[in-house]
Amino acid sequence: MDRNPQQARTRELLRSVVRDHCRIGVVVAPDRPRQLLGSEALLGLKKILSINEFRSGLHDIFFDRGIFDSSAASQRAAEVLRTIQPCSLHFEQDSVQVLGLQAADLIAHTCATMLLAELGFIRKKVKAGANSGYDPNLDMEL
Residue-wise pLDDT for 17-76, tens only, equals 888 887 788 888 887 888 888 888 888 888 888 888 888 778 888 888 888 888 788 887
Q: Minimal CA–CA distance to 77: which of 40, 47, 28?
A: 40
Q: For the chain, give every domain's residue range.
A: 5-141
pLDDT at residue 58 in the model: 81
Q: Is 63 exposed, middle or buried (0-12, 13-18, 19+ CB in 10 A)?
A: buried
pLDDT level of residue 93 (50, 70, 90 thresholds):
very high
Asked if residue 141 has pLDDT above 80, the reply is no
pTM above 0.85, yes or no: no
Contact 126, 120 (CB under 8 A): no
